Amino acid sequence: MKKKLGAVLLSTLMMFTLAACGGNASTNSANPTSNTGGTPANTAEPAANEELKPEPGAELRFWTFTTDLKPFTDYALKEFEQKYNIKVTVEDVGYWDSIGRLSTDGPAGVGADVFGLQTPDVANAAQSGLILPNDYFEEETKSINKPDTIAAATHDGILYGYPWNVYTFSLYYNKDLVKDAKLETWDDIIAFSKKFNDVKNNKYGFLYEPKTSAFDVAFMTGYGGYIFGNNETDVNDIGINNEGSVKGLKFIQSLREIMPLALADATNNLKEGLWGQGKLAINMDGSWAIGEHSKQPFPVGVLPMPKLPGGENAMPLAGSTGYYVSSYTKYPNAAKIFANFITTKEMQIKNNELTGALPAANITGTEQGIRNDELTQGFLKQIASSHRFPGLFETQYVWPALDAAVAEVWNGGDPKAALDKAADKLKSNIANQK
């Protein structure tokens, strides 16, 4: 999953969410369409003081990763099946593929009952009628999880998801290469890289993937830029071309001096390859890679995003992953019970213990079971100093516009002109969808 997450999961940060998937799913939790195409299932909720009971003979299909998450998945499914005597079949489906798959597999009766989604895709899934509200376990879910993860799992005031983990990115570094270098600011990183770089021998002090504009937003928000106003909730307030965003893009342009690569060549594959070979000192990557980087043959540390020249600390986007119940499920009660079971605070902590994923639950980092290693604790601190990932349906229009602006600027274009063009394109796409 590491390669997928490096090259594709982060692309879900910039992934163009599918516009209104098809299918016959219903958003009415009391009357969803059966995944066999027959009569709607009876999902009338029990009274508030009545325990939710799984349907007799329930069997569930679960879409998630079956590679890096296998230790947790094996553990959670064994516990669930022992408690409820419900068989769960697992299929390897990436979070970014769930909507497209369910829109066809759901009506065909072969879709998941429970599946994963990340922040960018929740609004699309809700508007497309693919997911059921998290109604029975709503208060429990809200009580244990961080407010931003609840917001990310909510659409039009309705909670749909069961938050599971959070993700952001920061700077991993090879301690053998960095040694005692001062790396407190981006000026320090640039100075270090100028001395360390040996381009002819493919040695670099710092690399990231600038063509993935979700990475670039960290530099824009560090100067006061934003995507949407009111904490990324107001699509009528576009901030990608404000003064802070322009200043951030100018800084990105300056990084070309220590990253003398064509934009098309500055890929995640190149970065991860050089990192594994010990030819890259500082690697901007995500918290989802904690498990992988902790297994490197060299000692790895993590730096918080440093202070920008004349500005504040760079603020990377932070999002969350949750599990969702398909509106096509024949067993909505069982599916809701399962989604809740695998996302309890205890299960989130167990997942961190087994895989390194960061819990969505309200934790301090000192709870029993939470990894106490440098990478986990460093990213828990970075999550607290990150910028909320917009979860609006309109977010899908952001990344093509920003990608084009970054490409233009990386090749010497004017940051202000490029971002003005991007903002106009974003506003036009939002207006045209209405």
**pLDDT-derived band at 68, boundaries 50, 70, 90:** confident
State how far Cα 343 lies from the chain centre: 16
How many Å apart are CA 18 and CA 120, to the nearest integer?
A: 10
Residue with token string 């695998």: 342
How many Å apart are CA 426 and CA 402, to the nearest integer?
A: 9
How many Å apart are CA 140 and CA 144, to the nearest integer?
A: 7
More reliable by pLDDT, 68 or 94: 94
pLDDT for 73-115, tens place per residue? 999 999 999 999 999 999 999 888 999 999 999 999 999 999 9
Distances (CA, A) of 7 to 13, 156, 232, 272, 375: 11, 31, 25, 10, 20
CA count, 13 A, side-chain hemisphere, 276: 11
169-317+392-432 has the same fold as 59-166+319-388 = yes
How many Å apart are CA 8 and CA 425, to the nearest integer?
A: 25
- The residue extents of the domains of the chain are 59-166+319-388, 169-317+392-432
Percentage of the chain beyond pLDDT 90 is 77
**pLDDT-derived band at 2, boundaries 50, 70, 90:** very low
Phi-psi region of 278 (alpha: psi -120 to 50; beta: other; left: phi over 0): left
CB atoms closer than 10 angstroms to residue 196: 18
Considering the four listed CATH numbers 1.10.10.10, 3.50.7.10, 3.30.70.20, 3.40.190.10, the one that applies to the domain covering 169-317+392-432 is: 3.40.190.10
Averaged confidence pLDDT in the chain? 88
Alpha helices in 9-67 (DSSP H): 10-14
pLDDT of residue 416: 98
How many Å apart are CA 134 and CA 56, to the nearest integer?
A: 21
CATH class of domain segment(s) 59-166+319-388: alpha beta
pTM of the model: 0.83
State how far Cα 104 lies from the chain centre: 24
Give yes or no for a contact between 275 and 267, defined as CB atoms under 8 angstroms apart. no
Give yes or no for a contact between 204 and 178, defined as CB atoms under 8 angstroms apart. no
